[in-house]
Amino acid sequence: MATSSSNESGPTLPRQRMSRARLAVVISGAGSNMLAIDDACRRGDLHADVVCVISNRADAAGLTHAAARGIPTSLVTPINGESRESYDERLASVIHAANADWIVLAGYMRILSSHFVGEFTGRLLNIHPSLLPAHKGLHTHRRAIEARDAQHGATVHFVTAELDGGPRILRGVLTLRPSDDEESLQRRVQRIEHAIYPEALELLARGRLRQTDAGAELDGQPLVEPLERHFDF
Catalytic annotation, residues: 128
Q: Measuring CA to CA, which residue among 130, 118, 100, 83 is closest to residue 37?
A: 100
CB of 129 or CB of 198, closer to ligand GAR: 129
CB of 73 or CB of 190, closer to ligand GAR: 190
Give me the DSSP letters along 144-205: HHHTT-SEEEEEEEE--SSTT-SPEEEEEEEE--TT--HHHHHHHHHHHHHHHHHHHHHHHH
153 binds ligand GAR (CB under 6 A): no
Among 74, 121, 190, 212, binds ligand GAR (CB under 6 A): 190
Q: Which residue's Cβ has the minimum distance to ligand GAR? A: 107
Among 23, 63, 117, 127, binds ligand GAR (CB under 6 A): 127
Q: Is the dihedral of CA 20, 209, 27, 176 positive or negative?
A: negative
CB distance 63 to 53 below 8 Å: yes
Contact set for ligand GAR, span 20-49 (CB under 6 A): 27, 29-33
155 binds ligand GAR (CB under 6 A): no
- Residue 151 beta carbon to ligand GAR: minimum distance, rounded to whole angstroms: 16
How far apart, in whole angstroms, are the C-alpha atoms of residue 38 and residue 61? 15
Q: What residues form DSSP beta bridges with 131?
A: none
CA distances from 9 to 13, 100, 115, 174 (A): 11, 23, 20, 35
**Size of residue set near ligand GAR by CB under 6 A:** 15
CB of 107 or CB of 226, closer to ligand GAR: 107
**Angle value at C-alpha 62, between 100 and 200, nearest 5 degrees:** 50
Q: Which stretch binds ligand GAR (CB under 6 A): 46-54, 74-82, 126-134, 203-211?
A: 126-134
Number of H helices, E strands in the chain: 6, 13
- Residue 101 beta carbon to ligand GAR: minimum distance, rounded to whole angstroms: 20
Residues that bind ligand GAR (CB under 6 A): 27, 29-33, 62, 106-107, 127-129, 154, 190, 193
